[in-house]
Each structure stands twice: as C-alpha cells, then as structure tokens.
A and B are shown apart, each in its own frame.
Chain A
C-alpha cells in the first residue's frame, strides 16, 4: 500500500470507527468539526426539515455547538416570499440556540476562515457547492452532497475518500494578470470534468509565494472542474494568517512522500495573458484579447471566488480618478464585513464610490442571480463570480467571467477591456 495524502489522513481521524489507514474509494462515516448551514429562502424546505426531524424524533441537534448558520444568498430579502422563507429558516436555528449570522456578515466560506472557525486540519461540512474554497487553509472542505438530515439528526455523514490530483503551478505572473486569470486558465485546461469526484491540490513555486486571498481564489475554482475538495499544504503564509484567527486547535497534516497522485497537471503561468470564460460555461476559456471590445451592460465584482481585499484593491486601482461608463452598472460586493471594513480603511471603497460604482453590503450579491443585479434578457455582463451557466444571473443574459481588474477596466469603457492599459 502506498502512502496517504494529508486529506485522507484527516478523514481517517474523523471517521467512526477511526481509521489509521484509508485509501481512495473507502467510504467513511465522519463526525465533522464544523457543520455550517446557509439559511435558505425556501419556506417549504424549512417545513420539510422540521417535519422530518419530528418524524425521526430529533429535538436537539447532536452537533449543536459545532453548527454555524449564515444568510448569504439573497439576503436581506428581495421579496415577501424570500422574507417568509428566511424567517422560517432562522427559526429552525434560533429555536435551538444556534446563532445566525446577519445578512451583511458575508459569504459563509469567507466568514468561517476569517473567524478561525475553519483552519488547518478542520473537517467542515457545508451544503454549498463552493465549500472547497476553504481547502486553501489546509482544511477538508467538501459540500455535504445530501446528508443534511443525517448531520442534523445523528451528527455524522458519509464521505468517499477521494483520489487526489496535483495542479503544479510554476513561474511568476506578468503585469495585468492575476490569480483569477490562473484559476480561469485551470478551468480551461481541466474542463468541467477534469477532477470529477477527486480532491485537487495546488502546489508549485507560484502557489508557495501566493497570498492567502489568491489561494482562496485558486481553491474556489476546484468546484468548476468537478472536484469535491481542494488543498494547499499549510506553510508559513497559512499559519501567519490562520494562527491569530484560530478558535479551535490547528493541526497540520502532511502527505506521505510516497503518496501517488492520480494525475499531475503542470502549468507555467509566466506567459499567461488575461483570461476570460465566455458564455455559457466556466471552462469555455480563451485569451481575453479574443473578446475585447464586446459591449457590456453590467460589471460585477464579488463572490467567494473574487470578493476579497486584493480583488477590491485591484479594481480600486483601475478606477481611481476615473468614472464608470454611463451605460454600465458596476456593482461591487465585498465578500465579508471584514473585507468591507479593510477596504473602507484603505480608501478602496471611496475610490470605487467616487467612480460611480455601486458598492453593496457583504454577501453573495448578484452571483446567484437572486437580487441586487439580476440581468435582463439580452444583457451582457462581465463578472468575477464563480460560474456563468446559462440563466444563472438572469434568463437570456450572457456572462463573461474574468479577473477583478478586467471587470473594472471593462466597467470604465462599457466594453470588455484588457486592464493592462490602466495599470500604472
């Protein structure tokens, strides 16, 4: 038997019964360290959960002290139906003594890592499909994929131990090219099935020198290539970020030297140009210059892919002292209140506001197409959210995915624009 990956060791340690040797394909019953739940807007779903819990005879949640609830999708409510649904969902948690984060606190993945609820070695269960984002701190973070009732009623869920592939990134980026361009390039290379059901580790000299903000951006994109989890081996950068925030013990797992990766993807980022994912798939990736000049109606900066401080800094640098094109709605949604506060302190928000960008509270914002920037049929958007499926941000609209700098430069010109000319 060959060696184990750090993620596989994490799972083995959280398994019931505990498993010291696990391998890809094993199916484990796991007790997570953290169970996070995004408050939905669907009242029927809340009623059904309560009915199911009553049927199973569950009154208190066995994971009670490990549950965190958030309101990040479509909150505060854009309509009466949403308001009624969210009210019911909040009640599910509050009636059992579980606090619910307010709708301006931000996106679950950001809050949990920023607040040190999830750190190196944490096994976290969350329904959201972009849960792998949190692998950037060295956690095991995979979407629940079913299992909701199990986690509420018996406090455990089932995970298949994944095979692990490595994306090895070498080199340094050219000016005008950002972490998000690298992430989009990975989407294009691996396509939507490149890591189907696997975990995806990011490594190499580019990653070793990378900021935490951009590590989250890389790990976020694992979802778009079918991966169940992401991983970056915690290093000095991780620990300097995670230690002051930690609310639970940090544990750094190491991958055995004889571990065999399912596949190793080697990419050199040195020559990379700004990238874009054209409608309607996140792996429909091209060099940005192929679509430069395309007219846009909306530009969106935000989401769990690109709503962090570095993203906002890049956009603020582009628009500072300039004005958004009058025909464009440029919406900026910080990923969390921590990001918003820092962006205010550093003057980024002022620069964006002066440029006529619409700066909102911290949230998922327009990304899931629920409120605050829904597109009309025929609208074209350039956005740095996670995916551009047909209909995601509005029926009949087209979404181009790009980096925050590209989004900001395009907002200024009213058409897709290479940000390089705005980089001093």
Chain B
C-alpha cells in the first residue's frame, strides 16, 4: 500500500491513549469524540486536520490503556500514524482496527509540521517529499502485514475463513 499526506507532527514521547481519545467524552458519538483527539497537545487539532493527513509522533505513541483510542484517529480520517515507536497494545489494536501505523525510527527528525510524506507499506519506507530523504521502517511480521494490506483483522479473518472452506 502507498499513501501520501500532509504531516501533523507531535514530537513528544509517551503520548497516551487518554490524550488520543479523552475519556470524558466517551459518552458522545465517535465523530464528536474525535474532535477532542489530542486536544491536550494542540487545542484545535480535531478541527484543523483533514482527511488523508498523517500523524508523525515520538517514541511510545499510544501508551496506556487498551481502549480503542485508534478509532478517534480513524474517525478524523487520519491516513496513517508514523512514529519513532509505538506502545504495543495501541499498535496491534490499530492494525486490527484498520489504522495504518508505521514504526519508523528517525521520523521526528526527518520532517517538520506541514511537510508531505509518502509511506510505502510494502517497501517499508517513508519519503519526505520536499527533501527526497528516505527512511527505512521496521518491517512487520507476516500476519500483521496481511492485515495492513487487507484493511484490518476482520478482512484478514474473512479471507482466511473463506480459504479454509474452499
């Protein structure tokens, strides 16, 4: 899969799930919850972001709880999150839920806010469009790669169950 988009850079480490999807709005429909995504770090992020944009973040993005915080990013139309590293629970939950998440050491230094980047999930690279600089990303094991390409855990299971009954 290839994606390109405008970067929203959150260089902080340890951005946690309570910041990505603040619990105090948990009673609202997902769309409205998503408006508050990352507001503790950038008050207007939920309003300024466009569908297809890419979030770039520091180390351990998604620390904290196992609640599906990734759903707020999907609801905003975020095409991918590229981070120095991810918290495991958030990372795997995102792949299952169909959010493209790419661990890419060096990404915070590679881009500035507003840059365009291109992400290639097969070649495992991220390219900063203006400078042409390229970074290699950490490759995913087989099942996870299939999930990313197919769009999530359900699509993967569907294909697998269909193949088994053939």
Q: Which positions in A face B, CB cutoff 8 Å?
A: 27, 29, 42, 44-45, 52, 55-57, 79, 81, 127-129, 143-150, 153-154, 158, 160, 192-193, 196-197, 226, 228, 281, 368-370, 387, 389-392, 394-395
Contacts A56-B158, A145-B90, A395-B24 known; 13 new A-B pairs at CB < 8 A: A27-B141, A27-B143, A42-B26, A52-B154, A55-B154, A145-B92, A160-B141, A192-B13, A196-B87, A197-B88, A228-B88, A389-B16, A392-B18
Q: How far is A281 from B18 in the complex, measured between Cα atoms in Å?
A: 12
Tell me if B131 is interfacial: C-beta within 8 Å of chain A: no
Q: Which of A44, A57, A147 contacts B153 (CB 8 A)?
A: A147
Which 5 interchain pairs have the tightest Cβ spacing? A146-B96, A145-B92, A27-B141, A146-B92, A129-B66
Q: Would you list which residues of chain B between 45 and 66 have a CB under 8 Å from chain A? A: 59-60, 63-66
Tell me if B122 is interfacial: C-beta within 8 Å of chain A: no
Tell me if B14 is interfacial: C-beta within 8 Å of chain A: yes
Q: Mind listing 23 A-B residue pairs with CB under 8 Å?
A: A27-B141, A27-B142, A129-B64, A144-B66, A145-B91, A146-B95, A149-B96, A158-B144, A160-B141, A193-B59, A193-B85, A196-B60, A196-B87, A226-B88, A369-B24, A389-B18, A389-B64, A390-B18, A390-B19, A390-B40, A391-B22, A391-B23, A395-B24
A369 touching B66 in the complex, CB below 8 Å, given contacts A129-B89, A150-B157, A389-B18: no
Is B66's CB under 8 angstroms from A127's CB?
A: yes
Is B64's CB under 8 angstroms from A147's CB?
A: no
Tell me if B150 is interfacial: C-beta within 8 Å of chain A: no
Q: How far is A56 from B24 in the complex, measured between Cα atoms in Å?
A: 33
* A contact patch SS: loop
Nearest-CB residue, chain A, relative to B30? A44
Is B23's CB under 8 angstroms from A368's CB?
A: yes
Is A226's CB under 8 angstroms from B63's CB?
A: yes
Q: How far is A64 from B160 in the complex, measured between Cα atoms in Å?
A: 21
* Best-buried of A27, A52, A144, A158 by chain B (most CB within 10 Å): A158
Q: Would you list which residues of chain B between 1 and 46 have a CB under 8 Å from chain A? A: 13-14, 16, 18-19, 22-24, 26-27, 30, 40
* B contact patch SS: helix
Q: How far is A145 from B157 in the complex, measured between Cα atoms in Å?
A: 16
Nearest-CB residue, chain A, relative to B24? A395
Is B40's CB under 8 angstroms from A146's CB?
A: no
Q: Which of A27, A29, A146 contacts B97 (CB 8 A)?
A: A146
Is A281's CB under 8 angstroms from B14's CB?
A: yes
Residues in A neighbouring B16, C-beta threshold 8 A: 389
Output the least CB separation between A289 and chain B (Å): 26
Is B142's CB under 8 angstroms from A192's CB?
A: no
Q: Which of B14, B40, B88, B141 contacts A145 (CB 8 A)?
A: B88
Nearest-CB residue, chain B, relative to A281? B14
Residues in A neighbouring B40, C-beta threshold 8 A: 390-391
Residues in B neighbouring A387, C-beta threshold 8 A: 64
Q: Would you list which residues of chain B between 122 and 151 have a CB under 8 Å from chain A? A: 141-144
Nearest-CB residue, chain B, relative to A45? B68
* Best-buried of B23, B59, B60 by chain A (most CB within 10 Å): B23
Residues in A neighbouring B68, C-beta threshold 8 A: 45
Q: How far is A137 from B154 in the complex, measured between Cα atoms in Å?
A: 33
Q: Which of B27, B60, B66 contacts A192 (CB 8 A)?
A: B60
Residues in B neighbouring A369, C-beta threshold 8 A: 23-24
Q: How far is A27 from B13 in the complex, measured between Cα atoms in Å?
A: 26
Nearest-CB residue, chain A, relative to B65? A129
Residues in A neighbouring B96, C-beta threshold 8 A: 145-149
Nearest-CB residue, chain B, relative to A52? B154
Q: How far is A127 from B67 in the complex, measured between Cα atoms in Å?
A: 9
Q: How far is A149 from B91 in the complex, measured between Cα atoms in Å?
A: 16
Q: Which of B60, B65, B154 contacts A226 (CB 8 A)?
A: B60
